[in-house]
Every structure is written in structure tokens, then in C-alpha cells.
Structure 1
């Protein structure tokens, strides 16, 4: 019976020691202060976003636009009607692109500005801050526009345009290619 008693005493001593170590670790963990998160102060820049929208509208979409449809196609890498369809679908399908008023009552960036920023960054591979001067939106906003735009395109257009072509699609494309004088481009 004495061996049982000593085994029990050893077990109890080990258990007490383990409990003591665990309590010490917990105490040290809770007593350590986490370093404070860095404080980022944003500098407010009045970008006059309304002027950015007006300029974009007058340059490309107004009654007498400054730039021709050919220049639009060159700069946006698509025809204006396709661009307008994409902007309209994104604006109606993704809440982030709907124009609303901010806390001060001013209109936020238009869907036209946000989509133009995203499309220009993709078309030219430019940095987010490169669209600031013309479209009047900050770098972080441009990044967010691009992210939301891509998600929106995948969600809204994915089933139709982001899929493998069917045999019917391939035949149609080959027919168009033949009409435009492209030779057959695949081997038998």
C-alpha cells in the first residue's frame, strides 16, 4: 500500500507543478500589453469629385463630346455602347457603384467615375493613384473600385461571358473570321 501512496503523492506533486507553470504562463500572457495599433491620419483632400464626373461626362458622353468614338475605343479598349452597358449593369447590380450622398449630403463618386477608374487600370495596367488627377478619386478608393468591379463582372457577366465556348460559339467565331478574311487557324 505504501507504493500506491508514494505514486499518488508523486502524481499530485507533478500535477501541482504543471498547474503552477500553466498559471504563470497565463498570468504573463494576460499581463503583456499588446503594442498599440499605429494611428493613420488621413489627409483630407478636396478632390472636387463632382468636377471629375462632369469632366468625364463632357469629354466622352455629352451631346458634343470632346473626344471622338475612335479615341474612346482606343482609351477604354472597347466601344462606348459596350462600356455604357457594363457601367449600367454594374451600377444596378453592385450596391457599391450606386451613387448616393455622403454624411455631409454631397454626392459620392458616380458609377461612371468608379468604373472608368477600374477599366483604365486594367486597360493600361496603371497604378491606382494614376487615375486620381483626371477622375478625382484616391488611391485606396481606386483599389476598392477595381476589386468591386472585378467581383461584379464575375457575378453579373460570368455565366454568359466567362465560360468555355460551346461548339456553336466556335462555329460562329470561325464564320466571322472567314467573312473577315482570316484563314483557318487550326490543323485538321
Structure 2
């Protein structure tokens, strides 16, 4: 059986060596890191989000839409009124589907773009980049 004094000595020994080892690891890690000022800035790639939203709206949702109701139904596997109902519910209840500004202050994908991509992915069981024609989602989709 160990004595209280021996336990205290062990605790002190352990704490001292652990602290030294931890500090050595921090020092080693810190010396491996590049200073933040030498990092290259991220490249901006304009994915045409705004143009994608306008094209999507004009093709399917405007008064004089490019495609008919039948085309809409074939493409989305539901009628437009049901789609709009789902869009409203998602945008009001699920934060992901609300349009927000990104880190640069630009508006992100519209509610219409996000819902369209989610519904098409679910309807067809395809990958996110397969619905990229209007949505510009290929590199920034974290979907259901």
C-alpha cells in the first residue's frame, strides 16, 4: 500500500514532467507553423450565384416562365404549388435554407437555389454537383 507522502511525491513528479512535456510539444508545434502574414489569400471564384438565381426564377417561377407547368412537374416530380409550399416551410423553419451573407459580405445562395437543389437531389437520388446548372453548388454543398 502506498503512503500519502509517496502519492504526493508522485503527483508532483508527474505534474512537473507532464508540464515540461506539454510545453515542449507546444514549442515544437509553434515552430512548425507559418506566420499568418505569410499565408496566401484564398482565391475568389465567382460562381455566378446571382445569375443562377435569376435564370432559375425566369425558367420556372416567373409569370412568363421559359418552361411549362408540365416541364416543371417532370423536372421536380411535383407541381409548382407544392414546391412553393415546401420552399416556404423550409425557409421559415430550417436555418440552412435561409439566405445569409458569407464571410465577405456577399449574399449566399438564395432560398430558391437551396431548396431546388435539395428537392432535385432527393427526387433523383443524384450527387450535389449534378444539379449545378443553376445552383453553383459544386464546392460548397453540405446537404442533408
Same fold (TM over 0.5): yes
Name the residue aligned to 1:29.
Answer: 22
Q: TM-score, normalising length from structure 2? A: 0.70
Seen in structure 2, the aligned counterparts of structure 1 residues 82 and 28 have a Cα distance that, compared at 3 Å, is same
Seen in structure 2, the aligned counterparts of structure 1 residues 24 and 80 have a Cα distance that, compared at 3 Å, is same
Q: How far, CA to CA, are the matches of 1:12 and 1:92 in structure 2?
A: 62
Secondary structure in 2 matching 1:139: coil
Higher RCO (C-alpha under 8 Å, 6+ residues apart): 2
Name the residue aligned to 2:68.
Answer: 68
Q: TM-score, normalising length from structure 1? A: 0.57
**Which structure is larger by alpha-carbon Rg, 1 or 2?**
1
Tell me the C-alpha RMSD between the 2 structures: 3.3
Name the residue aligned to 1:111.
Answer: 111
Which aligned pairs between 1:80-95 and structure 2 lie closer than 5 A? 80-95=80-95
Q: How far, CA to CA, are the matches of 1:122 and 1:40 in structure 2?
A: 38
- Could you give the per-residue CA deviations for residues 87-127 of structure 1, whole angstroms, max 9, x where no partner exists? 12222333443345567665432211110011112122222
Seen in structure 2, the aligned counterparts of structure 1 residues 56 and 41 have a Cα distance that, compared at 3 Å, is same
What residue ranges of structure 2 are gaps of 5+ in the alignment? 34-38
Alignment size in residue pairs: 135
User: What is the CA-CA distance between 1:27 and the residue it aligns to?
Assistant: 2.0
What residue ranges of structure 1 are gaps of 5+ in the alignment? 1-9, 148-188
